[in-house]
Amino acid sequence: MTTHSGVPEVVVDRLPQYLRALAQLESSGFDVISSQQLGELLQVTPAQIRKDLSYFGRFGKQGRGYSISHLLERLRNILGLDQTWNVAVVGVGRLGRSIISYPGFEPEGFRVVCAFDSDPAVVGQVAGGLTVYNFADYAEIAEREHVQIAIVAVPANVAQAVIDNLVAAGVKSILNYAPKSALTPPDVRIRNVDPVVSLQSMTYYLSAV
């Protein structure tokens, strides 16, 4: 699958991995790194790294490696992380509250600005410093708060209906933590995060020992 710009989706998915590794290297005092060294860190071939980066222009010079600070700046720009993205969390159960309170979002450019639930017992409560709004009012509040991304943390049986309502409200980017994949139109980007599925793929390797 490719993105609207013609870049394969698998390449875009690897860019944040490069970004994280480079940020850790910079914080450790490194200035330059080769594709060989970066590949060893991420278990990716140097050729794959060079090919991935070539979709976005020229980086570094052969034999000299990459300037870590320059590559970090370029990757942040490519990924749109040179600005702040406003996020709404839908579903304020245990998982939703953990997401709202997670301190790692804002330093990376994601600010959780509002939270929603449909349970009357939850609406009006405060979670992570945010008042929980009724999901029925999503469109109005999300527009007011300039929300660009929605994180869904609702039970599987209501996930599709919730995501349908988000799409109807104009949401184009959704991170779905519900334990069920959801269908969206082609112009809506959705990522499904299910730790159980990840664990199940890991047990293949354990059972094969």
| Burial zone of 204 (CB within 10 Å; 0-12 exposed, 13-18 middle, 19+ buried) | exposed
Residue 174 resides in a domain: yes
> Which residue, of 78, 106, 127, is where some domain finishes?
78
Domain count, the chain: 2
192 and 182 Cβ atoms separated by less than 8 Å: yes
Which residues in the chain come in under a pLDDT of 70?
A: 1-5, 60-63, 208-209
Pairing of strands 173-176, 66-67: unpaired
Do residues 131 and 43 both lie within one domain?
Answer: no
Query: In CATH, what number is assigned to the domain containing residue 33?
Result: 1.10.10.10
Q: Could you tell me the residue range of the domain that residue 156 belongs to?
A: 85-197
Token reading at 201: 């793929």
Do residues 131 and 168 both lie within one domain?
Answer: yes
Do residues 130 and 189 both lie within one domain?
Answer: yes
Do residues 14 and 66 both lie within one domain?
Answer: yes
168 and 135 Cβ atoms separated by less than 8 Å: no
Q: Which of 107, 111, 30, 109 is nearest to 71 (CA)?
A: 30
Do residues 109 and 68 both lie within one domain?
Answer: no
165 and 141 Cβ atoms separated by less than 8 Å: no
pLDDT score at 63: 64
Do residues 162 and 177 both lie within one domain?
Answer: yes
